[in-house]
Structure 1
Amino acid sequence: MRVANSQGPLSSAKFRWFFAARSASLFGGNAAPIALAFAVLEASHHNSDLGLVLAARSLALVLLVLFGGVLSDRYPRDKVVLVGHLGAAITQGIAAAILVTGNFDLVAILATEALNGALTALTGPGVYGMIGQVAPEGQVKQANALLGSTRQVATILGPSLGGLLVVTAGGGWALAVDAGCYLVAAFCLARLHLPQVDSERRPGVFAELREGYEEFRKHTWIWAVVVGFAVLVFVQAGAWGVIGPVIAERSFGAQGWGVVLGAEAAGFLVGSLLLYRLQVVRLMRLGQLCLVATPLPLIPMALGAGLGWLLAASFVAGVAFSVFGVAWDTSMQEHVPAEKLSRVASFDALGSWIAMPLGQVVALPLADLVGFSRYLWVGAALWCAMAAWPLLLPAVRHLEHGARDAETVGPETATAAR
């Protein structure tokens, strides 16, 4: 390891506008989930409705994310993301109005969350692909670490604000804040004018999808990690996204759950700051090793331990998840051609999210059937195993930070990279 160059990505005006847009959308986006979860639990009086609402958004993500990748490789990414943010402001504004006025309707909330998920699916790959376009040359890892740090500051403040608003004013106001943040982000994105990444030849949508899949498939280290994530996210979506708020409602409440999410986010922040300054040659290997520690918070949940133990475990898991996240994003942006990056990212998202709706829907029925503690123990074991198995592959262990991998380039270029 060595300390990185002191020059930072904020020296670029393009990156500063992108950074401001991401900061705004992340702040509101992190206040919304806790508000929505507890607003649904309070208004519907059926815990299973929370799983349905979360699954509606996740299902839309899964169904449309591949087309989001094509959209963001076909058109200027800043315009695609701008339109998506304006749409998200509208959908969250409608959901906020439903909850603030006390006219809770499960079908209407399902519809707004599905629309919100669809917009995220269609624009998320574009956000991912923009980082390499706005970061100064040679500063991609630092840009990812800085964005990761900001994401975690937002994740610390957002859930705390969301929990406070649930307790004092009601969850609808947190969704209204989210809608306003999307509008601020859209204003910042309007100041960017990025070129279309791709060139002259434009095949059909399905041909572009096939081209993106071939690029995804040729990188063993990418698809191996994504296969593990399909199971990992199934567990995480149910155990953390559904069971967590239910346990909190029965014990330390919405504000306490916001503090737990804040502790995890503080760990994210620490991990991002560490990687901002350090250069690691085997970045993916380090990230994957850290991922093995991320199911740690399920242990105090399974044991029924006090809030303090859960806070400590969440902080450690946050550090570990942050290191993996920066390693993954940086490796993707370094080893995948820029003109195909959004499509490869969309296949990554599809593989990672495909089991998320099922995990959210079946979590409570399974936990009721086998017991919350047993469900969490088995989930932690599966999560850990799926994080560890890619380390068996040389393509994951030996991938070098800053070098093109031999699966992507010809023998001469690969030799030169070494």
Structure 2
Amino acid sequence: MNGLSVLSERNFRRFFVGQSASLLGDGMVMVALAFAVLDLTRSPASLGYVLAARSVPMVAVMLIGGVIADRFPRRRIMVTADVARFLGQATMAALLISGHARIWELAALQALHGVATGTFNPASTGLVPSIVTGGRLQQANALRGLSISIGSIAGPAAAGVLVATASPGWAVAADAATFAISAIMLARLRLPAHLPPPAQSFLRDLREGWNEFSSRTWVWTIVTVASFTNMLFSAFLVLGPAVSEHSLGGPAAWATIVTAIGAGSVIGGIAALHMRPAHPLRTGVLALALCPLPTLGLGTHVPAIAVAGLAILCGIGLTVFNTLLETALQHHVPDKSLSRVSAYDWFGSLAGQPIGQAAAGPLAAGLGTYPILWLAGIAQLLIALVTLAVPAVRRLPAGGDRERPTPVTARQES
């Protein structure tokens, strides 16, 4: 199958196995963390604060992570981040399983997780072009999307079983183990020697990355859209567990809905393996317009099975959008500044998320859960559709003249 030919490349195969493992754990911990916090506090607002405790440090260190990833070996950065996340999640699991967890401890450990992820993500985007051939970049990104999707299905399903039969702490423990697997697989990559750029100040590095980012209208427009979309989608993530517990059937219903997003992502990932749109961002933004559907479903009091059906469509749209955007960045942005541009992308895309996470609970308490879900869903839909009016987004061609690093086979990155 041509869409899977990228797996013949050994480095990518190892990378893919490690990332698939850690993403499976991520799928488990989203369900586990939600019900761990609700068990302790019975408060959706507390869940929002814990999620924000991870998001804020992640966003705060993202730009620093981009500079570091363009200066130092990206694999080394990613291994260090995975080890930190393993230690943090293992500690949280021990606290939950022993029954001694407190909200401030969960928030602090999630902050550690956020810092590690903020350094990992820009390095990851920059690493992929060095472990696959250029013509297979979209395949590689589509398969990464598929691994997210499979983790989003298997992870919440496994977490739902563990939460119902044991405790949320055991799902968090499984998540910790997956970061150890990822670190081991990353350590086994064999890469060209890292050639550091000329020495210059951190601020100049940051400024050069900003120039690359801001000079491309399609980049900063899409990042702005993603930022508002993530902020508004937080209403679904924060209020969804409470709605599920009160009126849809409890943890099993929420696990089903989250799993449905993963199922849709699998479909979207398979589609992204084969689609070759002439204007990738036009296709991606149309796909993103499917994202608010499950939020609107929750807001209209439909049954859990109907929300799950809408979540499938959301998953399709998110995976297609993310795959096409990441491939566009890797094709059109030079390697020497790719991690910094990616950092601005991650920073901007996630900047609104902690605001949404922290605000969703208090707003729902003041205005009502269902009105907030409706407002968030409609706003997401309008933002996605308005984006198509921007010519730079609508007309961006596939491919590009991306500069590539010169392979050095005599030495390997340490």
Q: TM-score range by the shorter chain?
A: over 0.9
Counterpart for residue 256 of structure 1: 253
Q: Give the distance between the partners of 2:299 and 2:3, measured in 1 at CA.
A: 43
> Do the aligned partners of residues 400 and 198 (structure 1) sit closer, same or farther apart at CA in structure 2, a change above 3 Å counting?
farther
Q: For residue 202 of structure 1, report the CA deviation from its aligned partner.
A: 2.3
- The Cα shift of 1:155 comes to 0.8
Partner of 2:407: none
Which amino acid in 1 is paired with 2:331? E
Unaligned residue ranges in structure 1 (runs of 5+): 409-418
Quick check: 1:39 aligned with 2:45?
Answer: no
- 8 Å contact from structure 1 (residues 76, 195) kept in 2: no
Q: Which amino acid aligns with 2:226?
A: F
Query: What are the equivalent positions in structure 2 for 1:180-329 lying under 5 Å apart?
Result: 180-195=177-192, 199-237=196-234, 239-251=235-247, 252-329=249-326
Q: Which is further off, 377-386 or 4-13? A: 4-13
1:78–1:193: 8 Å Cα contact kept in structure 2? no
The CA distance in 2 between the partners of 1:388 and 1:69, in whole Å, is 30
Query: Within 5 A, what are the aligned runs for 1:92-171?
Result: 92-171=89-168
Distance 2:368 2:387 in 1: 30
Matching residue of 1:13: 10
CA distance in 2, matches of 1:113, 1:53: 7
Would the aligned equivalents of 1:229 and 1:386 in 2 still touch at CA under 8 Å?
no
Q: CA deviation at 1:133?
A: 1.2
Asked if 1 retains the 8 angstrom alpha-carbon contact of 2:4 and 2:139, the reply is: no
The question of whether the paired residues in 1 share the 8 Å contact of 2:71 and 2:196 is answered with: no
CA distance in 2: counterparts of 1:19 and 1:10, whole angstroms? 8
Alignment partners' CA distance in 2, 1:204 and 1:158: 42
User: Any idea what the Cα deviations from partners look like across 1:331-365, whole Å, max 9, x if unmatched?
Assistant: 11101111211111111111111121111111011
Matches within 5 A, 1:351-366: 351-366=348-363
Determine the C-alpha separation between the residues in 1 that align with 2:352 and 2:381.
17
Secondary structure of 1:297's aligned partner? helix
Does the 8 A contact of 1:287 with 1:323 survive in 2?
yes
Gaps of 5+ in 2: 404-414
Tell whether the 8 Å contact from 1:75 to 1:196 is kept in structure 2 after alignment. no
Question: What does 1:22-33 align with in structure 2 at a 5 Å threshold?
Answer: 22-33=19-30
Identical residues among aligned pairs (%): 34
TM-score (norm 2): 0.94
Q: Which of residues 168, 176, 179 is equivalent to 2:176?
A: 179
Task: Encode CA deviations 1:162-207: one digit per residue, 9 max, x unaligned.
Answer: 1111111110111100111111111111101334665441212221
Asked whether the equivalents of residues 74 and 196 of structure 1 are also in contact (C-alpha less than 8 Å), the reply is no
Preserved contact between residue 64 and residue 118 of structure 1 (Cα < 8 Å) = yes
Q: For the residues of structure 2 that align with 1:6 and 1:45, how far apart are their CA atoms?
A: 46
Shift of 1:40: 0.7
Distance, in Å, in 1 between the alignment partners of 2:3 and 2:120 is 32
Aligned to 2:79: 82
How many residue pairs get aligned? The number is: 402
Task: Report the RMSD for the aligned CA atoms in angstroms.
Answer: 1.6
